Structure 1
């Protein structure tokens, strides 16, 4: 399992379809990562004025690392890092085969390799992905698997596009939407499994597409990403149950895929500007 080397005190590891991710928060310190057959990618979310790194026993580099600094650790490479301030960062891990499969599915190029950028390289796109992931990983309502899978997929595609042996990977390839038949299959599956964990891999598999191809095709068909559409379906289902049944709020939350009663209340306030209790009271009137 990727990221099993991380101390538990650094933060929770979230296992995804494409490896794993962890939001780490630590005091000043250091880490030695032994060589494995996985790729690791780091996004620094806070500045590290005197960061020191070394890859595969090569000489150590000391540099100022701004927020958004990107680091890549290839398979079979040892890695050392040291920092002298409290830090927050994201670390991704994915087996080499998973990255090779992703490259083949999206770029028709395999095998391929990811190359480490120059120490201190700031990547604005990776930084934006990190800032989207950070609140999701800290959410008290638990993991939104579809959202995390989507962002992790975007992250690794970005690395393949910009730090790999894939020459001039096209940025603007045109993708068609899902056919009516395929869209109906996906929509029915999502509606039938609102209470369950739904992953990007499952949905892409229904269409015989790679995860990134599916994500783009879904967006073109529906006008929103899969995780937002799933949340929309869950809210609508909860509203129907509030109006048409006497089920408890905790049972409605569970049957519609929300983590808890407080979770569904927060989502309703954010997306509908009201609460489940208020919706039910209006119906009773």
Structure 2
């Protein structure tokens, strides 16, 4: 047998053994436990109240008495998104709500929702909503005025 071929087979055998080890040590999907409703409520309330602050997974985990990794996995399983994705979702929802009030500028809204400036808000808003904040605001305000 060629040296290269035997080395390749040996490498494949090692990968198979290590893959089996990883699968054997990983927690089976059916044994993973989501966060309780009370835990999710506490985390969600905290995030909603601190939209304009910096979020750290370790801080959220400590809030409900869990370790960082365990919290991250359980939150992601429960919400079907990471804590950061959920925070972005909350920020965008708050921005959409504030855009219906013409007294706020887009810069005011950006700061209120935890974005560093208007372009930061625009980047995330377009990613999540599909249109720019200005376009969304014009549509929302025109619907408000036509409903009156």
> What's 2:112 paired with?
255
Larger relative contact order (C-alpha < 8 A, sep ≥ 6)?
2
Distance 2:66 2:130 in 1: 37
> What's 2:82 paired with?
225
Please point out which of 193, 197, 204 is paired with 2:61. 204
> What's 2:91 paired with?
234
Distance 1:169 1:261 in 2: 48
TM-score w.r.t. the length of structure 2 is 0.74
RMSD: 1.8
2:128 counterpart of 1:264:
no
Distance 2:54 2:40 in 1: 19
Structure with greater proportional helix content: 2
Distance 1:279 1:246 in 2: 16
Give unpaired runs (5+ residues) of structure 2.
1-17, 143-148
Distance 2:38 2:27 in 1: 26
Structural mapping, 1:113-152, within 5 Å: none
Q: Secondary structure at the match of 2:100?
A: helix
Please point out which of 20, 38, 49 is paired with 1:181. 38
Give CA-to-partner distance per residue, 1:36-79, whole Å, 9 cap, x none. xxxxxxxxxxxxxxxxxxxxxxxxxxxxxxxxxxxxxxxxxxxx
Which of the pair has more CA radius of gyration? Answer: 2
CA contact under 8 A between 1:243 and 1:279: conserved in structure 2?
A: no
Provide runs of 4+ in structure 1 moved above 2 Å: 172-175
Distance 1:169 1:211 in 2: 23
Aligned residues: 119
Give CA-to-partner distance per residue, 1:128-184, whole Å, 9 cap, x none. xxxxxxxxxxxxxxxxxxxxxxxxxxxxxxxxxx9xxxxx98222532111111111
Give CA-to-partner distance per residue, 1:245-268, whole Å, 9 cap, x none. 421111110110112100111111
Q: Secondary structure at the match of 2:25?
A: coil
> What's 2:26 paired with?
171
Q: Secondary structure at the match of 1:243?
A: coil
Give unpaired runs (5+ residues) of structure 1.
1-161, 163-167
Structure with greater proportional strand content: 1
Distance 1:215 1:245 in 2: 38
